Structure 1
Amino acid sequence: MKVHAVDPCADTGALLAGAQFADAFCITVGGSALDARRAAERMLARRPQWIERLLALRNRLVEPFGLKTPDPAGTNCADSIGIFPVVSESPARLVAGFNDKHLDFRVVVDVALSDHGQCVTATTLVKTHNLLGRVYLAVILPFHRPITRTMLRQVAG
């Protein structure tokens, strides 16, 4: 299954007003049994070991700055998927993410029927608040794209 970069959905402003960064990737999976929650669970609930190591390094590096880090149990609220609290949800779209002092972050998982099954799209939106947010975004962007592609491939598997 191949992951493709696509244009972010047209309603990014409604999902995270003022977002300065948006990207999106999609994968087509066979069948028609997925809703947005199930797709998000497949994508976000587990991470390959190399991503776990990067996340552990990230947490150690940002802790002195008082940035949010996921708790060891993997959730920060009652309704979350992996480390991300669910913001809103419908059968076709799940929005997860959080607001922090340096930036606001959303991951949007959309599921739509396609000619060959279902198209699952993961859109990332970021709104930075200050210099720390802009520096943080610049540092993580080289890792973001391969991580997103890897996580999205899990939807097919």
Structure 2
Amino acid sequence: MNPVREVTPNVDADAVLAGAQFIDAFRVEIGAATVSAREACTRMVLNGPRWVDALTRLRNILVTPFGLKTSGEGAPAPGGLIGLFPVLSETPERLVAGFDDSHLDFRLVVDVAGDDTNRQVTSTTLVRTNNLLGRTYLTLITPFHKQVVRSMMARIAEPAR
């Protein structure tokens, strides 16, 4: 059974990405495990399933002719990079990563909450499309998005078992 479940997003969308047209959130319970938001994001992004890496490589190949950003592109971020995601802000309990591109703007919010015996990590995705290409891209990736996030979030719980 996958320990990851979809939950109602609980972030201030206007503060994170004003005008976001897409927002969803997933949560995984990690029990008494101690993890910071950066550690949780790193486990998700850098230790994800190989099939997610393959999808990312395919995506990079397909979007290059359209001038969209690919892995490793973009301006330096205040908190460095986690995988291809620039870290925009960070506390031990919350990490915000993402970037703005010509077709859409994207944010990933990783929150760690709970007490010493019952912690959980929530991953919230926000997207604001900027044009027809962005709306088309979002429509095409949405069916894959939920499965990708669930698989990546499951990696957070594995070390805690």
Normalising by structure 1, we get a TM-score of 0.92
- Confirm or deny: 8 A CA contact 1:70 1:76 kept in the other structure: no
Deviations 1:108-134 (A, max 9, x none): 000001585211000000000000000
In the alignment, which residue of structure 1 is the partner of 2:87?
Answer: 86
Instruction: Tell me which residue corresponds to 2:18.
Output: 17
**Which amino acid in structure 2 is aligned with residue 155 of structure 1?**
I
Structure 2 counterparts to residues 20-35 of structure 1, below 5 A: 20-35=21-36
Correspondences of 1:1-157 after superposition (within 5 Å): 2-71=3-72, 77=76, 79-113=80-114, 116-157=117-158
CA shift for structure 1 position 47: 2.5
Q: How many equivalent residue pairs?
A: 155
Question: Is the contact made by 2:113 and 2:121 (CA closer than 8 Å) also made in structure 1?
Answer: yes
- Aligned equivalents of 1:106, 1:25: Cα separation in 2: 14
Shift of 1:33: 1.2
TM-score by length of 2: 0.90
The 3 A distance-change label for structure 1 pair 39 and 9 is same
The answer for unaligned runs of 5 or more in structure 2 is none
Q: State the percentage of identical aligned residues.
A: 53
Q: What runs of 5+ residues in structure 1 fail to find an aligned partner?
A: none
Contact 1:36 1:90 in 2 (8 A): yes
Rounded to whole Å, the distance in 2 between the matches of 1:61 and 1:42 is: 26
Q: CA RMSD in A?
A: 1.8
